[in-house]
């Protein structure tokens, strides 16, 4: 699977909030007032609360179980549904600067701090080796409080990493220098044998979970469940989100909605792939209003939970 944008705030992607392409956010966001409170809109009544700690209270690492992890993701979007645009200087997809913001990025890192595993792509691994998005694979790097929080919860200092890659085209030595914890690469049957051996030589487990063209959703879910992680945070982009939805594996969607209409024709929306049949339904679990960012607009911070029968 070749995921060109993170879109998600996806944070290896929203970049420190900004360049995120469709994958969770990549880029350096503008400074904003981190002390301004949020207003909870749902469930009511409308009460104010601090930004910091808003998502830590969800305790996502306690919601799943070994063999049945809670799988969640996070994106930031404009009112007209754009999670990315194209940086004219680099040609890369990024989180649109008009919606990228530090407050959203803080909440993204709170979600990463609760993960036992980060699900990502080779594209994001390459970005990490270029000194981009390192605070995503190590949420405590820029926010010492998140590192302390992980320790207090009995979590490892860094989440484990699972990367989807068909070509295994990332600098393995540099990746291992940035992340020395458990790492898994999920690929297809046609993965280059020499590269598989090289990765294994660096202590990286390689698993085939697809055909010659793409990783299959059902095989991906089975792979994750066998490893007994309890919380899996997908920081990949719209193609991976489609794979998770197709396999009906996504439990929660965190969506930051910048109150901005961008216009234009470039960029991505939340998913990339064939129509989902049936469409996947979600219930609103929580909604906050943030008036402090993006500047001059504000944003809605929504948490949706997959509606399941039975």
How far from each other are the two terminal CA atoms of the chain, in whole angstroms?
A: 32
More confident residue, 10 or 196: 196
Average pLDDT of the chain is 88
> 163 lies in which domain range?
38-306
Average the pLDDT over 285-291 and give the result.
Answer: 98
Q: Is residue 287 part of a domain?
A: yes
Residue 246 has pLDDT above 80, yes or no: yes
Contact 200, 168 (CB under 8 A): no
Between CA 62 and CA 58 the distance in angstroms is 9
Q: For residue 169, tell me if it sits in a domain.
A: yes
Instruction: Check residue 12 and give its pLDDT.
Output: 39
Could you tell me the CATH number of the domain that includes residue 278?
3.40.430.10
Q: Is 176 domain-assigned?
A: yes
pLDDT of residue 1: 41
Backbone angles phi, psi at 287, to 5 degrees: -145, 130
Q: Is the pLDDT of residue 24 over 70?
A: no
What's the structural domain count of the chain? Answer: 1
Query: How far is 67 from 249, CA to CA, in rounded Å?
Result: 13
Q: Is the pLDDT of residue 141 over 70?
A: no
Model pLDDT, residue 33: 82
> Are 100 and 281 in contact, with CB atoms under 8 Å apart?
no
pLDDT at 147 over 70: yes
**Within a domain: 31:** no
pLDDT tens-digit map of 151-170 = 999 999 889 999 999 999 99
Whole-number percent of the chain with pLDDT over 90: 70
60 located within any domain = yes
- 114: nearest Cα among 66, 164, 68, 154: 154
- CA separation, residue 66 to residues 157, 169, 228, 247, 310 (Å): 19, 31, 4, 19, 21
Q: What share of the chain is helix, strand, coil (3-state, %, to 5)?
A: 25, 25, 50
Window from 102-106, 135-139, 177-181 with minimum mean pLDDT: 135-139
* SS3 assignment, position 279: coil
Q: Is residue 237 part of a domain?
A: yes
Confidence of residue 32 (pLDDT cuts 50, 70, 90): low
Residue of higher predicted confidence among 130 and 301: 301
Give pLDDT, residue 265. 85
To which residue do tokens 């998770």 refer?
Answer: 244
CB of 67 closer than 8 Å to CB of 252: no
Report pLDDT for 109. Answer: 94
Contact 172, 165 (CB under 8 A): no
- Is residue 120 assigned to a domain? yes
Asked if the structure places residue 9 within a domain, the reply is: no
* pTM of this structure: 0.90
pLDDT of 18 above 70: no
Could you tell me which residue, 27 or 176, shows the higher pLDDT?
Answer: 176
Rounded to an integer, what is the distance from CA 240 to the centroid of its chain? 10
CA 269, CA 105: separation in Å to the nearest integer? Answer: 19
Judge whether 69 and 117 are in contact, CB under 8 Å.
yes
The beta strands (E) that lie in 53-168 are given as 70-78, 85-86, 93-94, 117-121, 160-164
Q: What is the pLDDT of residue 84?
A: 95
């Amino acid at each position: 699977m070749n995921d060109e944008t993170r879109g998600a705030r996806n944070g290896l992607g929203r970049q420190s909030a900004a360049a995120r392409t469709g994958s969770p956010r990549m880029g350096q966001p503008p400074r904003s007032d981190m002390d301004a409170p949020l207003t909870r809109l749902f469930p009511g009544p409308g009460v104010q609360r601090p930004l910091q700690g808003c998502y830590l209270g969800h305790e996502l690492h306690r919601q799943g179980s070994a063999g049945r992890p809670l799988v969640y993701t996070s994106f930031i979007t404009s009112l007209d549904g754009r999670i990315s645009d194209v940086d004219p200087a680099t040609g890369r997809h990024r989180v649109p600067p008009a919606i990228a913001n530090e407050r959203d990025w803080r909440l993204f890192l709170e979600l990463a701090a609760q993960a036992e595993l980060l699900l990502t792509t080779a594209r994001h691994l390459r970005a990490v080796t270029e000194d981009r998005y390192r605070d995503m694979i190590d949420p405590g790097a820029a926010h010492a409080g998140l590192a302390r929080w992980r320790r207090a919860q009995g979590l490892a200092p860094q989440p484990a990493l699972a990367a989807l890659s068909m070509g295994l085209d990332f600098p393995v030595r540099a990746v291992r220098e940035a992340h020395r914890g458990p790492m898994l690469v999920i690929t297809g049957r046609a993965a280059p044998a020499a590269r598989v051996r090289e990765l294994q030589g660096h202590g990286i487990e390689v698993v085939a979970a697809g055909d010659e063209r793409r990783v299959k959703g059902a095989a991906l879910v089975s792979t994750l469940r066998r490893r007994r992680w309890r919380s899996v945070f997908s920081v990949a982009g719209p193609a991976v989100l489609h794979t998770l939805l197709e396999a009906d594996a996504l439990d929660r969607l965190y969506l930051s909605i910048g109150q901005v209409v961008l216009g234009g024709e470039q960029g991505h929306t939340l998913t990339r792939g064939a129509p989902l049949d049936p469409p996947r339904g979600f219930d609103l679990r929580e909604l906050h209003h943030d008036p402090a960012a993006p500047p001059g607009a504000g944003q809605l911070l929504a948490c949706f939970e997959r509606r399941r029968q039975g």
